[in-house]
């Protein structure tokens, strides 16, 4: 690994990873706090905990819908102005969430949060990509993500204690002081990159946003609607819109996501791998706290303590990932790592209702380590071979893809859970059994997703690793 003093040799280069870290920290803290707090919020708003996924999916969907605009806005108005604006909107959304009196108000407030979040992380990451040389990018992203991993450590614990001893409103108010720190640092150190040649493909954006919306709504309805025919029609319509976007992009001079992005094999495999593996990984942080509180009848604090080690060991993963990639390369690392993650998720389906819940601690701890390696490796290989003219659109598409995958993963996990819960012949009224079977299905899906990375070559990503040997 190179001497960090050579990489972080200016005030901007030293502080920029921490500015991005405040953005990721707020988003991570927000999502992980909410996972452990959903049963308490549901009780206060007189809703079923399993119907509260709208608060998560509305946020994730808003991120996915508006992230395609992030590159254009940053190019036109400058990374500094757009990043500060995004933190202000996210903080206001947090304030509105805390003031919500019912589920509808909470969902609308989460949409406002999503508007801010859709610009916050991609614009911060874009500033990072343009500040550092390609061979400095891996350690720079690592420095940005390590402090941000404190969010998922604190999230379940802080959320559990706040819900049990204060009220759920505080889980949103905690974002305000973090947002103020982010604004202060950005005013002083965030570089203001603009682009001279900018055009916005409005038609392409509307087609792509429609496809994202239709596919997300279809997945959401799969879990709640008794009528499958209209849901399948929405799903098919979503795929038709993707095809319509393909036709549009092939004829347009400057589409929002150029089709030649997908001619870059490492980008294509990275994006597809991100989508496939996150389907399984994303459902775990929601399903585990729900199982501990619903099936085992434990408090939000207990579920927080069990989930917290996932983020703690993720820090060790971040410090090891460069060494692992240097030794094994991206192809071998990603394939083996995905198989290990899938097996660990399956292991969560082993303990019976009479087994101690602390049995989950070692599984979660090891899972956090491998998750961390997975995300860093997938994100860096996706950007490894993109030309400078494509970094803005490629970075935006990668961010959109991640959020859609998280939304699909949450929806998929809950659909599988509800299918098992509805099968009384198999479950005999035992909700814990439904959770166990769900973890096994999700884990098997993750194992299968590892084969996506077979498309990588053994030498792929060497330009990202060359300075770190």
Q: Mean of the pLDDT values across residues 338-349?
A: 92
Answer yes or no: is pLDDT of 51 > 70: no
Answer yes or no: is pLDDT of 83 > 90: yes
Q: Mean of the pLDDT values across residues 344-370?
A: 86
267 contacts: CB under 8 Å, gap ≥ 6 = 261, 382, 383, 384, 385, 386, 394
| Pair (127, 236) in one structural domain | no
Q: What pLDDT does 90 receive?
A: 94
CA angle 397, 402, 408 (to 5 degrees): 120
Predicted confidence band of residue 88 (pLDDT cuts 50, 70, 90): very high
| Pair (239, 339) in one structural domain | no
Q: Which of 215, 234, 255 is the last residue of a domain?
A: 255
Predicted confidence band of residue 153 (pLDDT cuts 50, 70, 90): low
| Pair (66, 21) in one structural domain | yes
**CB contact at 8 A, 16 and 127:** yes
Predicted confidence band of residue 465 (pLDDT cuts 50, 70, 90): low
What is the rounded distance in angstroms from the CA atom of residue 462 to the CA atom of residue 455? 16
What is the rounded distance in angstroms from the CA atom of residue 338 to the CA atom of residue 48? 33
| Pair (73, 216) in one structural domain | no
* Domain containing residue 332: 4-200+256-468
| Pair (241, 119) in one structural domain | no
Answer yes or no: is pLDDT of 322 > 60: yes
Q: Mean of the pLDDT values across residues 170-197?
A: 84
| Pair (364, 461) in one structural domain | yes
Number of domains within the chain? 2
Q: Mean of the pLDDT values across residues 341-365?
A: 86
Q: What pLDDT does 151 receive?
A: 62
The CATH number given to whatever domain includes residue 443 is 1.20.1250.20
* Dihedral sign from CA coordinates of 111, 114, 115, 118: negative
- Of 52, 66, 373, 82, nearest to 224 by C-alpha is 52
Could you report the per-residue pLDDT of 273-293, keeping only the tens digit for each? 888 888 888 888 778 888 888
90-104, 142-156, 398-412: which has the minimum mean pLDDT? Answer: 142-156
Spacing of C-alpha 144 from chain mean position: 15
Predicted confidence band of residue 197 (pLDDT cuts 50, 70, 90): low
C-beta atoms surrounding 454 within 10 Å: 10
350 contacts: CB under 8 Å, gap ≥ 6 = 436
- Going by the DSSP 8-state scheme, the letter that residue 451 receives in this structure is G
Sort 242 into a burial class: Cβ within 10 Å, 0-12 / 13-18 / 19+. Answer: middle
- Going by the DSSP 8-state scheme, the letter that residue 356 receives in this structure is -
| Pair (205, 87) in one structural domain | no
| Pair (58, 111) in one structural domain | yes
**Mutual orientation of helices 137-148 and 150-165 as an angle, nearest 10°?**
10
Q: What is the mean pLDDT of the chain?
A: 80
Q: Can you list the pairs that 386-390 forms with residues at least 24 positions away whose Cβ atoms lie under 8 Å?
A: 386/261, 386/264, 386/267, 390/258, 390/260, 390/261, 390/264
| Pair (324, 228) in one structural domain | no
| Pair (129, 151) in one structural domain | yes
Q: What pLDDT does 240 receive?
A: 92
What is the rounded distance in angstroms from the CA atom of residue 164 to the CA atom of residue 13? 41
Q: Which of 213, 240, 255 is the last residue of a domain?
A: 255
Sort 300 into a burial class: Cβ within 10 Å, 0-12 / 13-18 / 19+. Answer: buried
**CB contact at 8 A, 447 and 339:** yes
Answer yes or no: is pLDDT of 215 > 60: yes
| Pair (225, 136) in one structural domain | no
* Of 197-201, 315-319, 417-421, 423-427, highest mean pLDDT: 417-421
C-beta atoms surrounding 184 within 10 Å: 13
What is the rounded distance in angstroms from the CA atom of residue 88 to the CA atom of residue 70? 15
Q: Which of 255, 281, 296 is the last residue of a domain?
A: 255
Answer yes or no: is pLDDT of 87 > 70: yes
What is the rounded distance in angstroms from the CA atom of residue 129 to the CA atom of residue 395? 9
| Pair (280, 251) in one structural domain | no
Among residues of the chain, what percentage have pLDDT more than 90? 12
CA angle 323, 328, 332 (to 5 degrees): 130
């Amino acid at each position: 690994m190179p001497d960090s003093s050579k990489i972080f040799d200016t005030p901007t280069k030293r502080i920029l990873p921490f500015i991005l870290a405040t953005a990721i920290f707020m988003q991570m803290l927000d999502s992980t706090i909410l996972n452990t707090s959903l049963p308490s919020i549901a009780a206060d708003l007189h809703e079923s905990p399993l119907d509260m996924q709208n608060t998560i999916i509305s946020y994730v969907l808003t991120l996915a819908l508006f992230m395609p605009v992030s590159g254009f806005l940053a190019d036109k108005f400058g990374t500094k102005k757009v990043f500060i604006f995004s933190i202000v909107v996210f903080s206001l959304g947090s304030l509105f969430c805390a003031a919500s009196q019912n589920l509808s108000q909470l969902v609308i407030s989460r949409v406002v949060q999503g508007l801010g979040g859709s610009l916050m992380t991609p614009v911060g990451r874009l500033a990072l990509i343009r500040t550092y040389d390609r061979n400095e990018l891996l350690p720079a992203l690592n420095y940005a993500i390590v402090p941000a991993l404190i969010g998922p450590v604190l999230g379940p614990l802080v959320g559990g204690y706040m819900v049990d001893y204060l009220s759920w409103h505080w889980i949103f108010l905690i974002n305000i002081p973090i947002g103020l720190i982010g604004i202060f640092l950005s005013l002083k150190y965030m570089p203001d990159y603009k682009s001279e040649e900018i055009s916005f493909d409005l038609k392409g954006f509307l087609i792509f946003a429609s496809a994202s919306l239709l596919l997300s709504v279809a997945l959401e309805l799969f879990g709640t609607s008794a009528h499958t025919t209209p849901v399948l029609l929405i799903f098919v319509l979503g795929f038709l819109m993707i095809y319509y976007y393909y036709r549009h992009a092939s004829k347009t001079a400057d589409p929002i996501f150029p089709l030649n992005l997908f001619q870059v094999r490492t980008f294509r495999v990275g994006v597809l791998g991100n989508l496939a593996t996150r389907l399984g990984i994303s459902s775990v942080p929601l399903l585990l706290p729900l199982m501990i509180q619903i099936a085992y009848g434990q408090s939000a604090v207990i579920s927080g303590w069990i989930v917290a080690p996932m983020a703690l060991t993720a820090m060790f993963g971040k410090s090891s990932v460069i060494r692992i990639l240097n030794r094994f390369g991206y192809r071998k690392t990603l394939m083996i790592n995905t198989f290990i993650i899938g097996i660990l998720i399956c292991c969560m389906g082993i303990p019976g209702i009479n087994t101690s819940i602390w049995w989950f601690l070692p599984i979660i701890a090891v899972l956090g380590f491998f998750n961390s390696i997975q995300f860093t490796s997938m994100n860096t290989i996706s950007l490894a071979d993109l030309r400078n003219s494509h970094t803005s659109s490629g970075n935006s598409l990668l961010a959109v893809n991640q959020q859609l995958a998280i939304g699909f993963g949450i929806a998929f996990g809950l659909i599988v859970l509800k299918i098992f819960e509805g099968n009384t012949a198999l479950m005999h009224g035992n909700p814990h059994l439904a959770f166990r079977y769900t973890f096994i299905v999700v884990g098997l899906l993750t194992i299968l997703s590892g084969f996506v990375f077979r498309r990588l070559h053994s030498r792929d990503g060497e330009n990202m690793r060359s300075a770190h040997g």
